[in-house]
Amino acid sequence: MPTIKDVAKEAGVSIATVSYVLNNKIDAVSEETRQEVWRAVEKIGYMPNVTARNLRSSRSRLIGYAWHEQPRSAMNPVLHNFAYFLAQAAEAAGYHLLTFTFPSYDPIPVYDELIRTGRVDGFIIASTVTDDPRVRYLLKRDFPFVAFGRANSEWDFAWVDTDGEAGFAEGVNTLRAYGHERIAMIAYDAGSLSGNYRVNGYISAMQAAGLPIPENYIWRGIHDDQTGREALSYWCALPLDQRPTAILAVSDMIAVGVCEQARQCGIHIGRDVSVIGFDNMPLTQYLQPSMSTFEQPLEEIGRACIDMLCTLLAKQPLDPHERNVLLPPRLILRDSVGSAP
């Protein structure tokens, strides 16, 4: 098996120079020498001992990323897609993801163990909430991390998020362009940060348009189809002139419940009532009628999270204007939106 000595002999350089190149100490050698060393590595088939190199540099080249433990029925395809793009971005930067789960009632022990044992260089965290214990703990430990999502406004940490507020404002304005004025919203429970931003966008756009928001036009519930079924059932029991003609749902799963309940009640989606979901789950394009929805820029978010974390791991300061990044979702209009009846 080829050794580092063989690489040095092939490249015509010292063993120390080869070591500098393999450990990415770019200031120690010229670009021409670097290229010559890598040509020698490829030619003789040298395989660096990554584990030993990482031990010497006290780096694992691993980034921790976790999901909450959750029932199979509540699997979140958005976070699965995000993990895929995150892994791609990490590998392009020379890292790999170490994925794990943690109980939502006590996430800290697993984070603490991974830090104490040196298994990860940093973390990407998702599904953040107000007073998020993970954010508080990692800030206290001064351990590198970037969040997909926000937390308390007074906490100073790096995050990337989808601008759900701007998205739902766009949803209201789009529905208004189709002639809708009685626009309702199905939201998450009040504890959801991402859900509340979307509610803020809905309210601000309705108020800017001078449209009333009856108290019963904001329905809150959990992330499942039953929430959508219950909301539509309630609104259908209202007098005809008080029923919403359009509904913005905080997630596609909830919007699917609206559509299924509408079918059972003989209500035609896109003609009798328009519906817009959020997340662009794969099934939405195959529903009859196909569902309009917002798509989060997950690939861009994944790249931004890794770029920011790599900057932190290099002990470089993040530009204040690049420390918190909001990216707009993309509205995909399909058959579930039509003119107001």
pLDDT at 237 over 80: yes
- pLDDT of 55 reads 47
Cβ(185)–Cβ(250) under 8 Å?
yes
Cβ atoms 219, 228 nearer than 8 A: no
Rounded to whole angstroms, the Cα distance separating 93 from 87 reads 10
* Residue 41 contacts residue 9 (beta carbons within 8 Å): no
| Runs of H (alpha helix) within 12-76 | 15-22, 31-44, 50-57
- Positive or negative torsion for Cα 298, 301, 307, 313: negative
In the chain, % of residues over pLDDT 90: 68
Q: Tell me the average pLDDT of the chain.
A: 90
Predicted confidence (pLDDT) per residue in 266-295, tens digit: 999 999 999 999 999 988 999 999 999 999
The type of residue at 72 is: R
Q: Report phi then psi at 221, rounded to 5.
A: -170, -170
**Distance from the Cα of residue 81 to its chain's centroid:** 9
Beta strands in the chain (DSSP E): 62-68, 96-102, 122-126, 145-148, 159-162, 183-188, 218-221, 246-249, 274-278, 292-295, 324-327, 330-332
149-169 pLDDT tens trace: 999 999 999 999 999 999 999
| Rounded distance between C-alpha atoms, residue 64 and residue 116, angstroms | 13
Q: Confidence class of residue 24 from pLDDT cuts 50, 70 and 90?
A: low
Question: Alpha-carbon distance 126 to 85, whole Å?
Answer: 14
Residues 6+ apart with CB under 8 A from 341: 245, 271, 272, 273
The region of weakest confidence among 71-85, 222-236, 326-340 is 71-85
Domains of the chain in start order, with CATH, are: 4-57 (1.10.260.40), 62-161+298-327 (3.40.50.2300), 164-296 (3.40.50.2300)
Distance, in Å, from the CA atom of 282 to the CA atom of 249, rounded to the nearest integer, reads 16
More confident residue, 223 or 290: 290
Q: What is the mean pLDDT of residues 38-55?
A: 70
pLDDT digits (tens, 9 = 90+) for 110-140: 999 999 888 899 999 998 989 999 999 999 9
Distance of CA 264 to the CA centre of its chain: 34
Residues in Cβ contact with 281 at an 8 Å cutoff, skipping those fewer than 6 apart: 77, 78, 252, 253, 293
Average pLDDT score over residue span 30-57: 73
- Helices (H) then strands (E): counts for the chain: 12, 12
Determine contact, residues 63/98, Cβ cutoff 8 Å. yes
Instruction: Specify the residue for token string 């584990």.
Output: 51
Tell me how far apart the terminal alpha carbons of the chain are, to the nearest angstrom: 75
128: left (phi over 0), alpha (psi -120 to 50) or beta: beta
Question: Tokens representing 320?
Answer: 């204040």
Please check whether residue 147 is in contact with residue 306, taking contact to mean a CB–CB distance below 8 angstroms.
Answer: no
Tell me, what's the pLDDT at 105?
82
Measured distance CA(237)–CA(95) in Å, rounded: 55
Contact residues for 192 (Cβ-Cβ < 8 A; gap 6+):
129
> What does pTM read for this prediction?
0.79
Q: How far apart are CA 254 and CA 110, in angstroms?
A: 32
Q: What is the pLDDT of residues 288-321, one digit of tens each?
A: 999 999 999 999 999 999 999 999 998 888 888 8
Per-residue pLDDT band at 176 (split at 50, 70, 90): very high
Round to whole Å and give the CA distance between 121 and 48: 20
Instruction: Please give the structure tokens belonging to residue 70.
Output: 């959750």
CA dihedral 167, 336, 175, 215 (to 10 degrees): -80
Alpha-carbon 155 to chain mean position: 19
